[in-house]
Structure 1
Amino acid sequence: MDRRELLRRLAAAGSAPFLLPLAGHADGTNTPDSWQTAFEASTAPWKPGFASLPGDLPPTAATVRGRFPDAVTGTLYRVGPAGHEVGGERYHHWFDGDGMAHRFVIDGREVRHQGRYVATTKRVREARAGRRLIEGFGTVFAGSEPLSSPDDMNVANINMLPIGGELLALWEGGSATRLDPQTLATRGLKTWRADLAGVPFSAHPKIDPDGTVWNFGVSASNGLLVLYEIAPDGALRRADARPVSHLPMVHDFAVTDRHLVFLMPPLVYDAARKQAGASFLDAHVWRPELGMRALVIDKKDWQRQQMLALPAGFLFHLGNAWEEQTAGGTVIHVDYVRAPDASSLFTSTRELVRGRYVRGPQARLTVARLDLGAGRATQVEWPLEAEFPRIDPRRVGLRHREVVHAAAPIDGRPLWSAVARTDVESGASQRFSYGAQALVEEHVVVPDGERPGWVLGTALDYAQGKTVLSCFAADALADGPVAQATLPYALPLGLHGAFVAA
């Protein structure tokens, strides 16, 4: 594909799905809507996890019990939705909240936390106006303005990517946002190349052991999958847009040493629904007859692709993938968290924002086997509910055994109560429970030379109204934290993050 054609395709990928005007009119009032009223009236004890923070949080010392190991001396960056309403109008989906970046600086017996809203164009404009102006992923407001770019609705609230001396706050449908790694101040949008301005850049890049960063973006209405290869120093090596039929909502992917692996659920975009005024989320339709498709792309030659079929299912996240050479050809092993359908995306994660809990379908740790030689895919589903799978970062794309993940949901309350470490080949698992009044967030694996390493992550103790940062020995998770830092306040529940050693 020549440069001119790439420019045309990527420009279409960046804007076309988002240029549709919306019906309705703004009345300019600040009367709370029904969602805000419902949240205020909710008596759910866990609702602080979905409350809004009124402003930034200055650097604050935590109370530390124990001592954090030398290997975790450094900074844990996290981000998540923290601004759910403006002017009495509350978002209608958890994933819509304005992003707040967090910085946990760890040094032995000292931990300091800082939180700062990402000053996206959307947040700055709406704060000045005192009301919502732009639609969200799962919310359409009366009088929402037509969009000129996906970055008009960018809330920078899903993940963090430290790269080339920069810190990027990642969204899903548009650009990454540059932050100062020391102050968390917003430095503007990241444009990898002029023709990539505003083009979707996923929130789940993968980093090879040699530091190469791989990522993708989805333009569902154009049927284009955008691929990125980025050098360890942050320089873009190449980018291209590849056509994919029935391209669904894709949140995450995996890499092996030779391939990119996409598991594509049958949740596909319907432009007619968007034109009728639906949110971007509600413009998607569940089409189980398409099944789950596994798209495998050669890292060196993106035109070399193979599609395999799995039973219909839905996923947010993958753990890792690796490949082996057999007599019949290449076999790829990939672990992911599979749900039978996408109903949780439309109901469970939506109702949380008005302080209601709706139990969604169970999502379980699953290992798929993609036999490229035979063109056949199979999978094994472990009887273990899970989310937020993470591995030792040194094993990305290589054979691994253990996955760290959130686990153990409790009936009558959302999300998870424990962190677990599971052997994906045997299904054996150990876990630590934070208790019946805590909500567990993502935990990451921190390497420590030849040792098993450490597991580092946060949880909301809503009984105390405080957020805790815990560190565990990776091979003794069930023994509990070796160190724990307790903040003097509760943070809204976030999504993903990354650790950077000092």
Structure 2
Amino acid sequence: MERRELLRLLATAGALPLLSPLARAAGATDNWQAQFEAADAPWKIGFVTPPGDLPLTRATVRGRFPDAVAGTLFRVGPAGHDLGGERYHHWFDGDGMAHRFVIEGTNVRHQGRYVATAKRVAEVKAGRHLTEAFGTILPGVEPPTSADAINVANTSVLPMQGEVLALWEGGSATRLDARTLDTLGVKTWRADLAGMPFSAHPKVDPDGTVWNFGVSASQSLLALYEIGPDGALRRAAVVPVPELPMIHDFAVTARHLVFLMPPLVYDGKRKEAGASFLDAHVWRPELGMRALVVDKQNWDKRQLLELPAGFLFHVGNAWEENTPRGARIHIDYVRTPNAESVFTSNREIMRARRVRLNEPHLTVATLDLGTGQATQRELPLEAEFPRIDPRRVGLRHRQVVHATQTRADVPGFGAVALTDIETGRSQRFSYGAQAIAEEHVFVPDGTKPGWVLGTALDFARQRTVLSCFAADHLAAGPVAQATLPYALPLGLHGAFVRA
């Protein structure tokens, strides 16, 4: 089949197949909202639905934010968890709310706005949920007509050419005005690519080139994108990948795109029987963790290697070295033995229940393209949301910023850490027993060590705080901290743009 025809099929179907009539009628009376409201977990404030947009508000600042972090931290995450008395059954289902923290020394201002996707606009107008979601099928919903009909734009952001793209897994990127967070509509890279999945973790090379992918699980097709520093599409194509699994993140090196593919594979029969898109996936450990390596210049040159079965959401970085036999790729990622968390932990928090399963650990894998062998070592360090110095994307690096420190009675993580992945040495700052650390990013500062910038939910005080740390003295605590007069919903990913 010609690539243009594959592109057309992928755009038409989107990443999510349509519901069957059985699925559309399924579901008993929902009581998750009542269970959430009755729960006494103090951390549940991180999963409360804001009734509306949050106007530009000044934070209380302690200390002074360094000149290198003068700019804007953009973030996004699920926020619209319930509507009309019905609550989603999965954290990832909530309508996205975009945030911007404007940082100017001792002055920090915050604004939050729901991303006005077609889905959200229609449902708010109706006063109820209208379509299925990633992990929830509520009674009375209709099948989606396309992936963008259920696009929640809640996972990550990509600043580009004066705009910010709010990203989701299965459909188009959504354009936001970087100064106001106004929703400007979906991003169409090319007419024949309209509606194609554009995933939530694009990678930006040091020269500004943007790489991304999209997954159509029902068709086992992987879409690939190359976008120039000017924001113009250079190439897009789809490649068939047998038993293509759920892929959330990937990595780039100087010469390759690297996809770690956990054995969580789509089963169309489950979907036909009425399962949600998430529950239509099956854990097949016999497949192992397949590593797909694609040549950046020639996407037809692909190689598969195998690691032990495991699951991941996020990748830190990858880099490659030349050997007499060929390239050897090193990639660090956050690994769990299986996918229990996506099915259970991230569901139960929607009714304010903490379920502790296998915790993720920072893991470093080596993919030897010359021998076809793959190995890995797991560091004894709980981790999530790995980020690196953006100048080192695809290049050799050592430091990874990440969340760490799980607790038995609180979901998420209690600390931020900076870890040397070669030595395993790590320094951390704990936010305390009554706080949840979100993703922190690394902000370069010329030849200096740089800064670590990120948010945390202080659920005891019902406040969100923005903190800045010296990267070489992270354990000493924040050099500056801005406290909002309210708590934000716990979010996912962000990006910093210098003023």
Quickly name the TM-score band, shorter chain normalised.
over 0.9
The alpha-carbon distance between structure 1 residues 34 and 479, as it changes in their structure 2 partners (threshold 3 A), is same
The alpha-carbon distance between structure 1 residues 408 and 116, as it changes in their structure 2 partners (threshold 3 A), is same
Out of 263-272 and 10-19, give the one that drifted further.
Answer: 10-19
Correspondence for 1:252: 249
Cα offset, 1:148, TM superposition: 1.2
Structure 2 Cα separation of the partners of residues 491 and 24 of structure 1: 33
Structure 2 Cα separation of the partners of residues 107 and 11 of structure 1: 42
Q: Give yes or no for the alignment of 1:197 onto 2:227.
A: no
The percent identity for this pair of structures is: 73
2:264–2:282 contact (8 Å) kept in structure 1: yes
Structure 2 Cα separation of the partners of residues 137 and 23 of structure 1: 13
Cα offset, 1:377, TM superposition: 0.1
Correspondence for 1:18: 18
Structure 1 Cα separation of the partners of residues 16 and 456 of structure 2: 39
Structure 2 Cα separation of the partners of residues 307 and 326 of structure 1: 18
Correspondence for 1:398: 395
The alpha-carbon distance between structure 1 residues 73 and 21, as it changes in their structure 2 partners (threshold 3 A), is farther
Structure 2 Cα separation of the partners of residues 26 and 293 of structure 1: 35
Structure 2 Cα separation of the partners of residues 179 and 355 of structure 1: 31
Cα offset, 1:8, TM superposition: 3.3
Structure 2 Cα separation of the partners of residues 121 and 14 of structure 1: 15
Q: Give yes or no for the alignment of 1:179 onto 2:176.
A: yes
Alignment counterpart, residue 36 of structure 1, candidates 5, 24, 33: 33
Cα offset, 1:97, TM superposition: 0.5
1:22–1:146 contact (8 Å) kept in structure 2: no
Structure 2 Cα separation of the partners of residues 416 and 309 of structure 1: 30
Q: Give yes or no for the alignment of 1:429 onto 2:421.
A: no
Letter in 1 for 2:18: F
Letter in 2 for 1:51: V
Alignment counterpart, residue 359 of structure 1, candidates 356, 359, 363: 356
Cα offset, 1:423, TM superposition: 0.6
Gaps of 5+ in 2: none
Correspondence for 1:219: 216
- Taking structure 1 as the reference length, the TM-score comes to 0.97
The alpha-carbon distance between structure 1 residues 19 and 412, as it changes in their structure 2 partners (threshold 3 A), is closer
Cα offset, 1:497, TM superposition: 0.6
Correspondence for 1:328: 325
Cα offset, 1:33, TM superposition: 3.0
Letter in 2 for 1:369: T
Structure 2 Cα separation of the partners of residues 477 and 332 of structure 1: 29
Deviations 1:333-378 (A, max 9, x none): 0000000000000000100000100002021000000000000000
Structure 1 Cα separation of the partners of residues 3 and 285 of structure 2: 37
SS at match of 2:279: helix
2:265–2:284 contact (8 Å) kept in structure 1: yes
SS at match of 2:350: helix
Structure 1 Cα separation of the partners of residues 227 and 110 of structure 2: 30
SS at match of 2:316: strand
The alpha-carbon distance between structure 1 residues 7 and 286, as it changes in their structure 2 partners (threshold 3 A), is closer
Structure 1 Cα separation of the partners of residues 284 and 23 of structure 2: 27
2:407–2:414 contact (8 Å) kept in structure 1: yes
Correspondence for 1:155: 152
Cα offset, 1:389, TM superposition: 0.1
Structure 1 Cα separation of the partners of residues 452 and 15 of structure 2: 40
1:254–1:262 contact (8 Å) kept in structure 2: yes
SS at match of 2:154: coil
Gaps of 5+ in 1: none
Structure 2 Cα separation of the partners of residues 26 and 387 of structure 1: 35
Correspondence for 1:107: 104
Structure 2 Cα separation of the partners of residues 207 and 145 of structure 1: 37
Correspondence for 1:85: 82
1:22–1:145 contact (8 Å) kept in structure 2: no
- Taking structure 2 as the reference length, the TM-score comes to 0.98
Correspondence for 1:478: 475
The alpha-carbon distance between structure 1 residues 23 and 341, as it changes in their structure 2 partners (threshold 3 A), is closer
Correspondence for 1:239: 236
Correspondence for 2:57: 60
Structure 2 Cα separation of the partners of residues 454 and 16 of structure 1: 39
SS at match of 2:17: helix
1:13–1:200 contact (8 Å) kept in structure 2: no
2:162–2:177 contact (8 Å) kept in structure 1: no
Matches within 5 A, 1:292-371: 292-371=289-368
Structure 2 Cα separation of the partners of residues 42 and 259 of structure 1: 48
SS at match of 1:136: coil
Deviations 1:29-64 (A, max 9, x none): xx9831001000000010001111000000000000
Structure 2 Cα separation of the partners of residues 8 and 198 of structure 1: 10
1:21–1:147 contact (8 Å) kept in structure 2: no
Cα offset, 1:437, TM superposition: 0.3
Cα offset, 1:252, TM superposition: 0.1
Task: Give the root-mean-square deviation of aligned CA atoms.
Answer: 1.5
1:415–1:439 contact (8 Å) kept in structure 2: yes
Deviations 1:414-469 (A, max 9, x none): 11000000011111100000000000000000000001110000000000000000
Structure 1 Cα separation of the partners of residues 13 and 393 of structure 2: 28
Structure 1 Cα separation of the partners of residues 276 and 13 of structure 2: 18
Structure 2 Cα separation of the partners of residues 245 and 488 of structure 1: 50
Deviations 1:212-270 (A, max 9, x none): 00000000110100000001111000100000001000000000010000000000000
Cα offset, 1:147, TM superposition: 1.5
Structure 2 Cα separation of the partners of residues 159 and 474 of structure 1: 23
Structure 1 Cα separation of the partners of residues 347 and 16 of structure 2: 26
Structure 1 Cα separation of the partners of residues 4 and 152 of structure 2: 30
Letter in 1 for 2:270: R
Cα offset, 1:328, TM superposition: 2.4
SS at match of 2:122: helix
SS at match of 1:195: helix
2:76–2:97 contact (8 Å) kept in structure 1: yes
Letter in 1 for 2:8: R
Structure 2 Cα separation of the partners of residues 13 and 373 of structure 1: 37
